[in-house]
Amino acid sequence: MDYQSILAKTLIDFFIFNPKSPFIFTTISFWFFFALVLLVDAFIYRKRATRHLFLFIASLFFYYKTTGLFFILLLLTAVWDFFIGKKIATTVNPLKKKMWLTCSVVLNLSILCYFKYAYFFTDSYNAITGSNNHVFNWLSHWSNGFFGSHFEVGKIILPIGISFFTFQSISYTIEVFRGTLQPVKRFTDFAFFVTFFPQLVAGPIVRATDFIPQIYKNYALSRHEFGLAIFWIMNGLTKKIILSDFIAVNLIDRVFENPDSYTGIENLLAIYGYSLQVYADFSGYTDIAIGVALLMGFHLTKNFDSPYKATNVSDFWRRWHISLSHWLRDYLYIPLGGNKTGSLATYILAGLILGIVILLSGSWKVLVIVILVVLGIVIACRLVRSFSVWITTNLNLMITMLLGGLWHGASWNFIIWGGLNGLGLIFYKLWKRISPWEVKNTWYKRAWTIFLTFTFITFTRVWFRAGSSNSWSGMNDVHDVTAEFLSATTMLHRIFFHTDIMVAPQVVMGYLKVLLVIVAGLVIHWLPASFKECYRNRFAALPLWAMVLVCFFGVVVLYQATTTAIPFIYFQF
């Protein structure tokens, strides 16, 4: 094959979606794409409308290269919420305004549920009724009929990042309804906000009130901001490749694949290692997204604040996945009544969640148990006033955490994970009244509370990881709720009943490199914030030649450490 043929094939491959060649931050093809975006942007950044149109098209191309023809779904989301936002803003009648907002929320969540929970509803219905129905992809069926395509109608593929851009788009119509944001005038402006590629597929969830005002400001990037952007990109790539992927391939994936084949100590190391992996993976993506956006003059919201420095569960959720926590707080928890009171929506959602739990179980016995528990709570509330107040003030919190768990996927494990964190938050509210550790006036008190919090979060993640996939092929697999549940319980059983301390030296030596990476990652994480800020600013202040040199050697090391393109964990959510 001659040089011209190779070049032509390379160009064709670049523009055609290939599920075996993912278009993610850790691939050379993405950075080639981003360099082209920056090059074109350098010529048009003063022409605001042209720039927004170009970045919108570039973002659609990015999403097409990431997940194929689902870019059409992303485009449709932008179209209907743009026009619904205009209708909300121009409608005077309060009831009609609410109807338009309801239309946006229901439409977006219906699409999300169709792609994310179709298998769950079908399998649960079959379990309860004893039927043998199968999922049918109506969108593929209609496409095959109208366009002559050949999509498989017996399988529903989850579009990457659908939960993120759905919540992002909903935030726009809610803020327009509340009057805190004026609707954008041009469709390309709104579409640019919804599709902005750096954070499109794995967050952070950008709020309309935070991002839309930025698109009308003149492009500005100081020398210091340029240095910080490069730092965040290199920092994120290091987290992903050196920390997340290395410990996943060499320890975590092996153990979670077959926990019964490993000792209790190996299982314990795997779940602690997974806590570091999921943080390094997710925050690594966020770091890169922040850096890439900053180079284009846009500031994304902070999504992590050293979460493993948290001294209690409440503190952890103020530091972890901040954009989702704030979204759930502002658009779900507070509207339900927060920690003050319940509302009609509170009890409707509580009933919905109980219904989902019953469906997931696929058992009439669970239905009977749920009815008896609800009746017991109602009677206790009638008899004991203080218990009634306690239930009311904590129900919204538990609903928020359960729905936060369900947001990650239709599996018992995600619901258990969300429920355990909800219970942890409720327990802490009671415990802090009598805790001797609440006043952390000594280093060992703070260290002890950090260790307890980290351990609690780590053990709840057994359920989270067992319900997740860490491969491209597994991202679209149907959740086997029984297998996922048994995998989590097996790990816990191995840890608590098959931990032989005598084999610890052998295990440590066998995984020495992995353990050194884990320890190094946690030590860096626990460094003081002031120290981290200092070396960030020092890097940003380097002369350009020194910065290029550091980045060159960094890229060489990262390239040597890269094996295959492992998807970011939060792509599946």
Alpha helices (runs of H) in 92-186, residue ranges in sequence order: 94-129, 138-147, 162-178
Instruction: Tell whether 201 is covered by a domain.
Output: yes
In single-letter form, the type of residue at position 547 comes to: M
Q: Measured between alpha carbons, how far is 51 from 45 in angstroms, rounded to an integer? A: 6
Burial of 393 (0-12, 13-18, 19+ CB in 10 A): middle
Residue 394 token pair: 């904590």
Q: How many residues does the chain have?
A: 573
For 341, the domain range is 312-439
Number of folded domains that form the chain: 3
pLDDT band at 428 (very low <50, low <70, confident <90, very high): confident
Residue from 326, 408, 493, 525 carrying the catalytic annotation: 408
- Measured CA angle at 569 (ends 566, 573), to 5 deg: 130
Do residues 434 and 512 share a domain? no
In the residue annotation, 525 being an active-site residue is answered as no
Residues 146 and 211 occupy one common structural domain: yes
Residue 215 lies in a domain: yes
pLDDT 10s digits, 49-79:
899 999 999 998 888 888 877 788 888 888 8
For residue 465, is it within any domain?
no
pLDDT mean over 551-572? 76
- Same domain (yes/no): 243, 208: no
Examine the fold and report which residue of 178, 194, 219 is the final residue of a domain before the chain moves on: 219
Average pLDDT of the residues in 200-208:
79
Return d(Cα 229, Cα 314) in angstroms, integer: 30
| Structure-token pair, residue 473 | 């092929």
Q: Are 572 and 475 in contact (CB under 8 A)?
A: yes
Going 427 to 163 to 165 to 296, the CA torsion angle's sign is: positive
170 & 33 share domain:
yes
Distance of alpha carbon 549 from alpha carbon 544, whole angstroms: 9
What's the token pair of residue 33?
A: 């794409």
Q: Which of 170, 194, 219 is the last residue of a domain?
A: 219
Does the bond joining 204 to the residue before it have cis omega, within 30 degrees of 0?
yes
Rg, C-alpha atoms of the chain: 25
Q: Looking at the domain assignment, is residue 446 inside a domain?
A: no
CA pair distance 39, 528, nearest whole angstrom: 38
Report yes or no on 254 lying in a domain: yes
In a domain, 189, yes or no: yes
Q: Flag whether 93 is in a domain.
A: yes
- In this structure, the answer to whether residues 491 and 373 fall within a common structural domain is no
Predicted local confidence at residue 66, as pLDDT: 82
Query: What pLDDT is recorded for position 262?
Result: 85
- Give the CA dihedral 376, 379, 383, 384, nearest 10 degrees: 50
The CA–CA distances, whole Å, from 216 to 55, 171, 213 equal 14, 19, 6
Select from 285, 284, 250 the least CA-distant residue to 270.
Answer: 250
Kindly state whether residues 160 and 227 are assigned to the same domain: no
Residues in Cβ contact with 128 at an 8 Å cutoff, skipping those fewer than 6 apart: 359, 362, 363, 364
Dihedral over alpha carbons 276, 233, 168, 415 (to 10 degrees):
-10
Judge if 486 and 553 occupy the same domain: yes
Residue 131: CB atoms within 10 Å: 9
Residue 144 CA neighbour count, 13 Å, CB half: 10
Do residues 150 and 190 both lie within one domain? yes
Instruction: Single out the residue in 192, 219, 246 at which a domain terminates.
Output: 219
Percent of the chain beyond pLDDT 90? 15
Confidence band for 472, pLDDT divided at 50, 70 and 90: very low
Domain shared by 136 and 206, yes or no: yes
Are 292 and 235 in contact by the 8 Å Cβ rule? The answer is no
Instruction: Tell me what the pLDDT averaged over the chain comes to.
Output: 82
Q: What is the mean pLDDT of residues 422-450?
A: 80
pLDDT digits (tens, 9 = 90+) for 338-392: 777 777 777 888 887 777 777 666 667 777 887 888 888 888 877 777 777 777 7
Per residue in 100-141, pLDDT tens?
988 998 898 888 888 877 777 776 666 666 677 666 666 666
**Any domain includes 257:** yes
Q: DSSP H helical segments within 498-528, as ranges?
A: 504-510, 512-525
Same domain? 250 vs 208: no
Residues 321 and 337 in one domain: yes
> Residue written as tokens 């619904």?
84
DSSP string, 316-375: HHHHSSHHHHHHHIIIIIHHHTTTT---HHHHHHHHHHHHHHHHHHT-HHHHHHHHHHHH
Same domain, 231 and 343: no
**Which carries the bigger pLDDT value, residue 185 or residue 118?**
185
Give the pTM: 0.87
